[in-house]
Amino acid sequence: MSKNINVALIGNPNTGKTSVFNQLTGLKQKVGNYPGITVEKKEGICKLPRGVKAHILDLPGTYSLNTTSLDESLVVELLLNKNDKDYPDVAVVISDVENLKRNLLLFTQIKDLRIPTILVVNMADRMDRKGISLDVEAMEKKLDTKIALVSTRKNTGIERIKELIADYKNISSKPILDPNRISPEYFERLKKTFPQEDLYKLWLVITQDVNFMPIEKKRIQDASDFSTKSKDELKKLQHKETVLRYQLINNILKETYKVDFLAAKGLRASLDKILTHKVFGYLIFFVILLTIFQAIFDWSGYPMDFIDEQFAMASEWVKNTLPPGVFTDLLAEGIIAGIGGIVIFIPQIAFLFLFISLLEESGYMSRVVFLMDRVMRPFGLSGKSVVPLISGNACAIPAIMATRTIENWKERLITILVTPFTTCSARLPVYLILIALVIPEGNFLGLSYQALTLMLLYLIGFGMALLSAMVLNKILKIKSRSVFMIEMPTYRLPLLKNVGYTVIEKTKSFVLGAGKIILAISIVLWFLGSNGYSEDFQDADRIVTERIENEGLSTYSKNYIQNNIATYREEAQAESMAPAAISDSIQVLTAELSERAVAQEIASYKLEHSYIGQAGKAFEPLVKPLGYDWKIGIAVLTSFAAREVFVGTLATIYSVGSDEEETIKNRMAAELDENGQPLFNLASGISLMLFYAFAMQCMSTLAIVKRETNSWKWPMIQLGFMSIFAYIIALIAYQILI
């Protein structure tokens, strides 16, 4: 049985590489990180003719093998290291038919590494519209390779790629450019010094910051032939190499690639004038954001209510079906309640990723980056900082990793430090449940108050990131100079298949990542909430029963009974029941509700004197000035593991000892403070939302900042400042609104 074929998928950004990867692998793909480094690694399996399988590795986008960032260096390191388990048997270079000249620079470099290299010309469906004609057969001869003309939109050419991969042994690995042409004298000396090494691979080891190579880089640096060239001289030779390659590419394209520029005129220039306009561009972006947040609330309401009810019913079913005991309580009150507290937000998280994916697929996101460069400059940042800041709306961890594309260290450090202020998707469940509880329903100019509040929270986070960046730019005495450049991809209709893959993978990653943490924390919280060491906990039944006999039920229980009876009376009268029958039924209902209320008060008393209750009470003085009780304090504390844990924690705490078939939202709405007023009111809700808007996101973010800055100094400063600032703002907000 033949081994899998290792295939490296390589290409410039915005060439449709991800679309080709999705077409080849479908959902048979996984996302992780490269060993020892926090750069995303996408890989999948593709079935080839004759029962052969290909292991497809989607490498980070790069414009050439002359790298400028860490993720680009990974491409070079893999292509130079034959001992790597992912070293490709064949490289597939994805190019864009409209930018073939630039894409071929990377192709020729990879082919010169003597790796069988296939050229995929993507977006072939645009050729007629753009007036492009391509002589594929002639180009194959000139480049000494095989070419697949592909349209992922029309799903054509994918089978051709599979056939070429399966037949990779018959694809030429002969180099295109003789490296001696770069500097005959210098390369001749290198060849004499290292006669066993391939000259072009040797050249990349010398000029690039790579680590995985059979030759030790230190030995090369110590060699007298290498030391004769300074860094500036090597840069000049790199530039000469690029010039030589483009001369070669130009000669090939003159004979094989034609463009009718009259036919190529379209709407792109007109659209760019509008979407990047210094006034209308921002207004359009603002309207798009408003539409997204409105849709998140309007479209997800029904599925969220359905999920919430199903988990409440599942918890109740487990309690009624399984035999009473520790395992049943753990399952119903710990696991189901905790996981339900995050699963309910799947619709809204999915919609958020859906809209982000649509903006990226259409090519509009690059216009936003260009547009925002004007905003970034006064704050000491550039347009390149916008990519991490926008990515932070999904998750701060990959957003901070994305700062590696920023060459300027000062700009990169500032971007790392301020990115956690942007609203990540983990904060979204916290915002959504609090907004639903404390922001009234209603509309302003056709937009709901709740959608406007959500957008305002996003803008507050982004505004705080900019303000912090401006302060840091003044404080940090680091000399810097940078130039902002970005490619504007062509506009295109988003591929629904690509959007679907993105939404499924991102949502699954969010749910599974959060689910693991929530499951573990829910079990711990359930145990701490179901057990205690004090006499109050052990004698809770007797203490509460005696108190009720002497003082009566609590205000909450009385209101609970009265509200249920009032609801029943209205329903009975609507059905024209006889007054005597209503009176008898109310007596029976009152007895049942009173019994349930006593049981609930016992459960609440036990929870308050459990292990978690004791810890919460000790922590309560710190959070009480913010309008929080000990339960919210525990949720805030545990949410440092991951922000979305806040809702799961409250779902678990409120479920311990509860026999009611109620949703988490209803339980939170029913919580009362010591004065018998709703705990989650406008003041406490706004205080909580502002606390989460400014507080450090999670311990994983802290760890990634340490890794990216290679020091605990910056993450500790970040944690201290954001925590204190969040506390002060939340305190001020509560004291003003109370």
pLDDT at 691: 93
Q: How confident is the model at residue 2 (pLDDT cuts 50, 70, 90)?
A: low
Q: How confident is the model at residue 282 (pLDDT cuts 50, 70, 90)?
A: confident
Start-end of CATH 3.40.50.300 domains in the chain:
5-170
The secondary structure of 488-527 as a DSSP string is -PPP-PPPHHHHHHHHHHHHHHHHHHHHHHHHHHHHHHHH
pLDDT at 105: 92
Whether 557 contacts 600, CB under 8 Å: yes
Q: Is the pLDDT of residue 521 over 80?
A: no
> 348 or 104: whose pLDDT is higher?
104
Q: Is the pLDDT of residue 224 over 60?
A: no
pLDDT digits (tens, 9 = 90+) for 145-172: 999 999 888 888 899 999 999 989 999 9
Residue 474 tokens, joined = 């003044």
Which of these, 523, 512, 409, 416, lies nearest to 469 by C-alpha position?
Answer: 416
pLDDT at 87: 92
- CA distances for 460 relative to 457, 491, 692, angstroms: 5, 30, 11
Measure the CA angle with vertex 502, ends 500 and 506; round to 5°: 125
pLDDT digits (tens, 9 = 90+) for 396-417: 776 776 676 676 778 888 888 9
Quick one: average pLDDT of 211-228? 46
Q: How confident is the model at residue 664 (pLDDT cuts 50, 70, 90)?
A: low
Quick one: average pLDDT of 242-252? 91
Instruction: Give the three-class secondary structure for 258.
Output: strand
By CB atoms closer than 10 A (0-12, 13-18, 19+), residue 169 is exposed
Class of domain 5-170: alpha beta
Instruction: Give the three-class secondary structure for 120.
Output: strand
- Bridge-partner residues for 46, per DSSP? 54
H/E element, 305: helix 280-321
β-bridge pairing 40-47 and 29-33: antiparallel
Q: How confident is the model at residue 450 (pLDDT cuts 50, 70, 90)?
A: confident
pLDDT digits (tens, 9 = 90+) for 572-590: 888 888 888 888 888 888 8
Q: How confident is the model at residue 216 (pLDDT cuts 50, 70, 90)?
A: very low
CA distance 325 to 334: 13
pLDDT digits (tens, 9 = 90+) for 688-715: 999 999 988 777 778 778 877 888 899 8
Sorted by sequence, the CB contacts under 8 Å of residue 664 that are 6+ apart come out as 308, 312, 337, 340, 341, 344, 433, 647, 650, 651, 654
Q: Is the pLDDT of residue 227 over 80?
A: no
Quick one: average pLDDT of 180-208? 84
CA distance 141 to 148: 14
pLDDT at 663: 61
Residues 8-17 as b/e (b if ≥16 CB within 10 A, e otherwise) read: bbbbbebbbb
Q: How confident is the model at residue 529 (pLDDT cuts 50, 70, 90)?
A: confident
CA distance 651 to 556: 19
Quick one: average pLDDT of 283-297? 80
pLDDT digits (tens, 9 = 90+) for 253-279: 999 988 865 554 556 667 878 888 888
Instruction: Compute the residue count for the chain.
Output: 738
Which of these, 418, 407, 413, 378, lies nearest to 481 by C-alpha position?
Answer: 407
> 382 or 97: whose pLDDT is higher?
97
Sorted by sequence, the CB contacts under 8 Å of residue 626 that are 6+ apart come out as 684, 687, 688, 691, 727, 730, 731, 734
Q: How confident is the model at residue 220 (pLDDT cuts 50, 70, 90)?
A: very low
Q: What is the CA radius of gyration of the chain?
A: 31
CA distance 701 to 165: 40
Residue 626 tokens, joined = 């913010």
- CA distances for 126 relative to 98, 259, 313, 490, 491, angstroms: 8, 12, 52, 10, 11
CB atoms < 10 A from the CB of 542, how many?
10
pLDDT at 153: 81
